[in-house]
């Protein structure tokens, strides 16, 4: 694995809030109680100075909401990717937590927080809970480390930690081995990326 595979983005810890009119939630076509939280991917292009040059929000939401989220993400700053000691343009996917909160005056605030960044899943069906264990009501989790290759495939899947140990390991590994991703790019060239992820199992 080359140096490019080890490059990881560090996103500034910025909490961004935008107040939007009630018409946005009307476009959402659903009633928001006091608070609604969802998670959304966004493809982000970053220049050699760390500034965002393009944002593509991956979500089936109305345009007014997508525009608000994209505007917030576009104001984030990244640590630029490095290639041979030089800052270069790059792209990554950002996994965000988006909170919609309704206020007493009827306005809706949208808060966008960064969860993690890296390659974006294209095909990632969750592993199936084993039927043999369903009657025992066993819950668990498996933390995996794997490499997303430049072609989007997954390699070198390893179990970092699991609870209960050894119960869901093989199922989690097999599922992730079949996933595919949109890889990160550095200077327009797809690169390998190291990823850690926790997979939950519930009956």
Q: In the chain, where are the structural domains located?
A: 3-118, 121-201
How far apart CA 141 and CA 117 sit, in angstroms, is 21
Is CATH 3.40.50.300 correct for 121-201? no
Report, in this order, helix, strand and coil percent for the chain, each rounded to 5: 20, 50, 35
C-alpha span between 16 and 83 (Å, rounded): 30
- Residue 11's pLDDT band (cuts 50, 70, 90): very low
Q: Which residues pair with 120 in a beta bridge?
A: 182
The predicted structure's pLDDT at residue 59? 87
Q: What is the pTM of this model?
A: 0.72
pLDDT at 105: 82
Of residues 200 and 22, the one with the higher pLDDT is 200
The confidence score (pLDDT) of residue 13 equals 26
Kindly write down the DSSP assignment for every residue of 25-47, as one continuous string: HHHHTS---SEEEEEEEEEEEE-
pLDDT at 3: 34
- Residue 54 has a pLDDT of 97
Per-residue pLDDT tens digits for 31-84? 444 788 888 999 999 999 999 999 999 988 889 889 999 999 999 999 999 998
Query: Can you tell me the distance from the alpha carbon of 32 to that of 108, in angstroms, rounded to the nearest whole number?
Result: 9
Please write the tens of the pLDDT for every residue from 135-182.
Answer: 898 999 999 999 999 999 999 999 999 999 999 999 999 999 999 999
How far is Cα 103 from Cα 78, in angstroms, rounded to an integer? Answer: 32
């Amino acid at each position: 694995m080359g140096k490019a595979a080890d490059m990881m983005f560090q996103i500034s810890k910025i909490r961004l809030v935008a107040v939007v009119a009630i018409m946005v939630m009307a476009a959402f076509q659903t009633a928001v109680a006091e608070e609604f939280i969802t998670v959304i991917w966004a493809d982000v292009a970053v220049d050699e100075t760390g500034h965002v040059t393009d944002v593509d929000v991956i979500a089936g939401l109305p345009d007014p909401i997508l525009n608000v989220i994209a505007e917030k993400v576009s104001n984030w700053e990244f640590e630029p990717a490095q290639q041979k000691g030089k800052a270069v343009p790059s792209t990554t996917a950002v996994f965000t937590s988006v909170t919609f909160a309704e206020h007493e005056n009827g306005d809706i605030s949208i808060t966008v927080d960064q969860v993690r960044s890296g390659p974006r899943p294209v095909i990632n069906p969750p592993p199936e809970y084993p039927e043999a264990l369903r009657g025992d009501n066993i819950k668990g989790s498996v933390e995996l480390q794997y490499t997303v290759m430049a072609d989007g495939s997954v390699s070198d899947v390893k179990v970092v930690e699991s609870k209960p140990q050894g119960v869901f390991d093989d199922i989690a590994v097999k599922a992730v081995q079949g996933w595919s991703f949109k890889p990160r790019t550095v200077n327009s060239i797809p690169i390998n990326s190291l990823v850690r992820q926790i997979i939950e199992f519930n009956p």
